[in-house]
Amino acid sequence: MKVKTDFLIIGSGVAGLTFALKVADHGSVTIVTKKGVMDTNTAQAQGGIASVFGKLDSFDLHIRDTLVAGDGLCNREVVEIVVRNGPERIRELIDMGVRFNLAEIQRDKDEELNLDLGREGGHSQKRIIHAEDMTGRELERVLVDHVKRHPNIKLYENHIAIDLITFSTRLKRGQITTTHEDFCCGAYVLDRDTNQVKTFAAEITLLATGGSGKVYLYTSNPDIAAGDGIAMAYRAGATVANLEFVQFHPTCLYHPDAKNFLISEAVRGEGATLIDSAGNAFMEKYDPLKDLACRDVVARAIDHELKKSGHDSVFLDISNKDSEFVKKRFPNLYKQCLSFGIDMTREPIPVVPAAHYMCGGVVTDIFGRTDIKKLYAVGETACTGLHGANRLASNSLIEALVYAHKASKQAVVEMNTSDFKPTPELFLWDEVGTSDSDELIMVSHNWDEIRRFMWNYVGIVRSNKRLERAWRRIEIIQKEIQDYYWNFKVTPDLIELRNLAMVAELIVRCAMHRKESRGLHYNIEYPHRDDKRWQKDTVVRRPFLG
């Protein structure tokens, strides 16, 4: 089956949906999403969106905070673009119907919107705009509603992308031709309901597939976060960068029945304190900002405390605050914690770090363009230069909004240029010589092994020996997957395993390359930052296959 469209969007988070709505009046739009439209990283976002609205705040302060968090690797031009365009994107969301929390006390009449502004780690001012403690879900609710009502947008749920199609790889499966004028033509996509592989031909393709948290054993991400966009782009020949910078969120709920449940950084922003099992606060030993230090500092501090004590978790305590305030400010967190027998208004919450956000990704310019023509990347899939070595809290959603806006404008312009190359006729997916798998244990075993060795060897604290062990294992697993992949029919689990292994390999490769400690990458054998040799991006390109 073939599907032809002007704009193909892979992923249905805030980046993909925003792009879709902005290009929909200029051509046909197709959104492919691997599960339900609301099953995204965006929908899991609790804290909010960082943008300048407060009277004491300024663009310069937000820019400075972002640069400090990024530990010397942010692209200042990109930081300024995102920060200065943030308020306009927030107003646009409000006009669309997003319901952000308003301040209870009416502010001065000259202060627009009267938004309730929170504060999170690394921010010098209150600038976190939120919808209670479920900001991402509110964004998704409104954007999905607009998408479903737009006549030019078609949504394919339960469809998982397999690979991008480029001009040089558009022939039958397994064949490769080379060209110096390569460009993206669409993607092969598996319909999970029918097990049919469909050929999606597109004039412009956008990767908005979210993060890679499932490469680690413990993560705050939903199950869909397998690094699909990064893996597909790299296999197609796109440049990726900075994949050693994996952000571990300091505070995920530690409970045997809890899965991927994040305790928002906004809780610390409202005055919660991290304590050990004896009730002692410990963050003052690690940073002058204490509990409002940046995430990399807090995650390493917790990791150190756990290794020192041998305990399973530390605790986050907000019981000193008025109980009604806590219930009103964090209604979802309060309800979820209570379901696990924890009353956060009266007792501390057991927490541990977990893989949360990929700061690296597919390299793009300031318009979201990759180095493959007609292929764009936005959101967590992309490496724009905003985050550098460590993302400032709540900068992800504003980046997605600003870059989706910029990419949409550029994509429309690109489609209407005189030298734009239309997508040629594409072949259908070729399954000749394949059969149904009779060894699914290979998939499940390798999936589990990757996630475990990535957590143990390529986690919050790394060493050369740990990285070498991880590299030896990923080489073996990659060969097994490659041999298996071309002999059996694709399944969702096999597709995700292939992508997971590819991203794991790239993370390990980047981490082995960087011989210093900076931001989210900490190697005990190179404990200091080295600007003279390493104040640069870690850039990885696939070897030429011609």
- Looking at residue 422, its pLDDT comes to 86
Domains and CATH numbers, the chain: 2-9+20-193+203-217+229-244+359-415 (3.50.50.60), 249-354 (3.90.700.10), 441-528 (1.20.58.100)
Structure tokens at 104: 């209870």
- Looking at residue 441, its pLDDT comes to 82
- Confidence tier at 294 by pLDDT (50, 70, 90): confident
Q: Is the pLDDT of residue 209 over 50?
A: yes
CB 445 within 8 A of CB 129: no
pLDDT digit string, tens, across residues 78-101: 999 999 999 999 999 999 999 999
Q: Is the pLDDT of residue 181 over 80?
A: no
Instruction: State the chain's mean pLDDT as an integer.
Output: 91
What would the mean pLDDT of 397-413 be, rounded to a whole number? 98
- Confidence tier at 257 by pLDDT (50, 70, 90): confident
Q: Is the pLDDT of residue 109 over 50?
A: no
Q: Is the pLDDT of residue 237 over 70?
A: yes
- Looking at residue 545, its pLDDT comes to 42
Q: Would you say how long the chain is, in residues?
A: 546
CB 13 within 8 A of CB 40: yes
- Looking at residue 235, its pLDDT comes to 96
Instruction: Return d(Cα 216, Cα 228) in angstroms, integer.
Output: 14
Q: Burial letters for 185-205: b for 16+ Cβ neighbours within 10 Å, e otherwise?
A: bbbbbbbbeeeebbbbbbbbb
- Looking at residue 440, its pLDDT comes to 75
What would the mean pLDDT of 289-305 be, rounded to a whole number? 90
Q: What percent of the chain has pLDDT over 70?
A: 95
Q: Is the pLDDT of residue 433 over 80?
A: no
- Looking at residue 104, its pLDDT comes to 73
Give the DSSP per-residue string, 271-318: T-EEE-TTS-B-GGGT-TTGGGS-HHHHHHHHHHHHHHH--S-EEEE-
Query: How many distinct helices (H) and strands (E) make up the chain?
Result: 15, 18
pLDDT digit string, tens, across residues 511-546: 999 999 999 999 999 999 999 999 999 999 987 443
User: C-alpha angle with apex 298: 511 to 262, nearest 5 degrees?
Assistant: 95
- Looking at residue 546, its pLDDT comes to 37
Q: Burial letters for 365-377: b for 16+ Cβ neighbours within 10 Å, e otherwise?
A: ebebbbebbbbbb
Catalytic residue, from 137, 170, 295, 329: name it: 295
Q: Residue 40: which of 413, 459, 400 has the closest Cα?
A: 400
Catalytic residue at 473? no
User: C-alpha angle with apex 92: 86 to 93, nearest 5 degrees?
Assistant: 95
Task: Provide the H-helix boundaries in 150-180.
Answer: none
- Looking at residue 108, its pLDDT comes to 47
Q: Is the pLDDT of residue 203 over 60?
A: yes
Give the global pTM: 0.91
What would the mean pLDDT of 489-499 be, rounded to a whole number? 93
What would the mean pLDDT of 474-478 be, rounded to a whole number? 96
Q: Is the pLDDT of residue 174 over 60?
A: no
- Confidence tier at 323 by pLDDT (50, 70, 90): very high
Instruction: Return d(Cα 351, Cα 299) in angstroms, integer.
Output: 11
What would the mean pLDDT of 465-491 be, rounded to a whole number? 92
Instruction: Return d(Cα 169, Cα 56) in angstroms, integer.
Output: 54
Instruction: Return d(Cα 427, Cα 188) in angstroms, integer.
Output: 10
Instruction: Give the residue with greater pLDDT, 243 vs 486.
Output: 243
Instruction: Return d(Cα 210, Cα 260) in angstroms, integer.
Output: 16
Q: Burial letters for 424-444: b for 16+ Cβ neighbours within 10 Å, e otherwise?
A: eebeebeeeeeeebeeeebbe
- Looking at residue 161, its pLDDT comes to 97
Instruction: Return d(Cα 360, Cα 4) in angstroms, integer.
Output: 31
Give the DSSP per-residue string, 222-280: -TT-S-HHHHHHHHHT--EE-TT-EEEEEEEE--TT--S-B--HHHHHTT-EEE-TTS-
Classified as helix, coil or strand, 151 is: coil
pLDDT digit string, tens, across residues 118-161: 998 889 999 999 998 889 899 999 999 999 999 999 999 999 99
Q: Is the pLDDT of residue 195 over 60?
A: yes
Instruction: Return d(Cα 199, Cα 145) in angstroms, integer.
Output: 27
